[in-house]
Structure 1
Amino acid sequence: MATDSSGYRERNSTADRALVILGLFTEDRLQISANDVAEALGSARSTAYRYLQTLVAASFLEEAPGGGFRLGIGVLELARLARRGYGLTAIAQPVMRALADEVGETVLLTRLVDDTVVCIERCEGAKQLVRLSYERGSRLPINAGASALTLLAWLPEKEIRELLGRHALQRFTERTLTDVDVLVKRLAEIRTAGYGMTVAEVDPDATGIAAPIFDDSGAVAAALSIVAIRRRVPEDRSELLVNAVRAAAETLSRKLAVVRS
């Protein structure tokens, strides 16, 4: 029993040291030496070299031309598998939960799917008092609401006009835009501002604020939005919500770029 326990502790110690070694690599440090590892581990150079050779044997490191060690094919394979395991929703959920808790409102993640706007995820704040009924998988109007307009705003104008032309644009309230020329102008304003905000365009009692999530090619992959009861978004609070949703969308854009790169 004592031998097994000792071996277990030794395996943990070895794993810890291996993680320390892999953690030495950064954007500015793509190669490491045995001396670097010895210093990081507080060990003799010969001990550090043994750990390096173990990682080389497992393909997590390889000897670099000219000396030193660089990340090996094993790390690249793990990175490939990690990317496959991360869909947009999985990446977005923690950020959405944090945003919903921060602002105390409903947060939606939407995408353009087959020319329609689809809600693919939603989160509500832990202490949210007023809840809005936006279900996952529900389809939202193409011509109204912050999410839809933000998803359209970064498309080429020709594509926008073709897309809107394929739909019977419905009027939900007196504020809903149904004229394509007016919509195109509105979308240009959203693109310049960097976010979309709508008040009573779908629901007379709702305000929406949305920001684009960009993929690694610079295209809009999705929209992140806050939807709130209109009376809960006075002018002095709207700026706070705009800044919060834009910051969260920028975080998701960076995460998505890493996963898709």
Structure 2
Amino acid sequence: MTGQSTDRTSGYRERNSTADRALDILLMFEDSRLVVGGQEVADHLGVARSTAYRYLQSLASSGFIEEQRPAGYRLGPRVFELARLARKGLGLSEVARPVMRELCDRVGEAVLLTRRTGATVVCLEREETDHPVRLSYERGHVLPVNAGASALVLLAWAPEKEIDEIIETSGLPRFTGATITGAAELRARLAEIRERGTAVSRGELDPDVLGVAAPIRGADGEVVAAVSVAALSHRVPDERLPEVQQAVNEAAAGISGRLAVVSS
């Protein structure tokens, strides 16, 4: 029994050792080293050249590397396929969150990722600061489509037919004295947002809250979500607005760029 157990353990360790060596070889590739040679691998692993070639041939037979005569080996098609699958597996939230975190640190205010579903807007993600007073928008929070910067950005690039249907069927409820409740006024505001590329709202959904939002576009150029800064209004006076708008615009462009890469 003991001998059998030892053999299994030894084999398991050997398999792990072989996998580790294979990963070590793959990790040798970088921008400054696109091709590696057999002796180079042997020196890196601290093994005989014949052993290094055995590892290389194993990786080549699986498509992870391919021989490039006479220099050595380069990355193979299997690596590119895995990279494609890794990008494809990333969702909007995973793509957006690093950029959201950077934006949050840059402006010092909460950052939201939102998406429109019919006549409502859903908060998908949130990055928070350490302010003692926090806003109540959390993941999964449902927001109206006619109030607040992120909602207006998402509505601004919706098809005209959908905008008409939302106005007719859902109405334009009032939340504060600043909420847009007239159809003509709303359409004019949406046209202005499309022209400027961002939306700014003060007290339209919550009396003391300012929002600055910009659209996120998918690989086909269509607006798929919005990124926004939400803050207590007094923390972002008018003179600071251009700075925050620029930061939000750059974050939206950054997320859109990442989505294009993921979809490629």
Does 1:260 pair with 2:259? no
1:57 to 56, 61, 64: 61
Q: Structure 2 stretches of 5 or more lacking a match?
A: 1-12, 44-48
Could you tell me how far 1:252 is from its partner in structure 2? Answer: 1.1
1:192-246 residue CA offsets vs partner (Å, 9 max, x unmatched):
1111111111112111000111111111111111111111111221112111111
Amino acid at match of 1:18: L
1:72 aligned residue: 77
Mapped to 2, the partners of 1:93 and 1:24 lie a distance apart of 26
TM-score, length-scaled by structure 1: 0.78
Call closer, same or farther: CA 1:25–1:190 in 2, change over 3 Å: farther
Deviations 1:59-88 (A, max 9, x none): 224579xxx96631453145315522x221
Check the 8 A contact 2:154/2:225 in 1, yes or no.
yes
8 Å contact kept, 2:119–2:144: no
1:16 aligned onto 2:1: no
Count of residues in correspondence between the two structures:
245
TM-score where L is the length of structure 2: 0.78
Over the aligned positions, Cα root-mean-square deviation in angstroms equals: 3.5
SS state at 1:221 partner: strand
Which residue of structure 2 aligns with residue 210 of structure 1?
213
Provide the secondary structure at the position in 1 that maps to 2:28. Answer: helix
Picking from 66, 91, 97, the partner of 2:95 is 91
Q: Which amino acid aligns with 1:105?
A: E
Larger-Rg structure: 2
| Fraction of identical pairs, as percent | 45
Distance 1:165 1:51, change over 3 A: farther
Q: 2: distance between equivalents of 1:73 and 1:8? A: 21
Q: What SS does the aligned partner of 1:231 have?
A: helix
**Structure 1 stretch displaced more, 53-62 or 8-17:** 8-17
Q: For structure 1, which runs of at least 5 residues remain unmatched after alignment?
A: 27-31
Q: Given that residues 58 and 74 in structure 1 are in contact (C-alpha distance below 8 angstroms), is that contact kept between their aligned partners in structure 2?
A: no
Counting only pairs closer than 5 Å after superposition, residues 228-239 of structure 1 correspond to structure 2 as: 228-239=231-242
User: Counterparts in 2 of 1:35-184, with a 5 A limit?
Assistant: 36-38=35-37, 53-62=57-66, 71-73=76-78, 75-84=80-89, 86-125=90-129, 127-184=130-187
